[in-house]
Amino acid sequence: MTLDEIFAAMRGRFKPGVADKRLSFYFSLGEGAKYTVVVDPQQVDVQQGRTTDQADCVLKTDPAMFQKMVIDGYEPGVMDFMSGKVKSNDPFLLKTFKACFRTP
């Protein structure tokens, strides 16, 4: 599954009512692979590129790790963050992001 397919599928997997406020997520997933996802209590907006100056949560990782997290349900551990495989300004919001979507 490509990154474009993963992000396109998020619209159909969104669970309304999970987010209690508007939250923006920016994903930098390797060379040229940038996406912004904004969720609020009722809807999701998925865009290619960086469409917000100040995202609530930023995730930097490679496409394989992102797919593992989103498709396989993998939750990065301390070693993933310490080794630099996964970088985020707010790891707890990553859990909120995951909760907003049904698993495939």
Q: What's the number of domains the chain is made of?
A: 1
> How far, in Å, CA of 78 to CA of 100, rounded?
23
Q: Which CATH number is 79's domain given? A: 3.30.1050.10
Residue 26: CB atoms within 10 Å = 22
Q: Range of 79's domain?
A: 3-99
> What tens digit of pLDDT does each residue of 36-94 get?
999 999 999 999 999 988 999 999 999 999 999 998 889 999 999 999 999 999 999 99
Q: What does pTM read for this prediction?
A: 0.93
Per-position b or e across 38-72, b if 16+ CB within 10 A of its CB: bbeeeebebeeeebeeebbbbbbbeeebbbebbee
> What tens digit of pLDDT does each residue of 24-51 get?
999 999 888 999 999 999 999 999 999 9
Query: Is the pLDDT reported for residue 104 higher than 80?
Result: no
Residue 104 lies in a domain: no
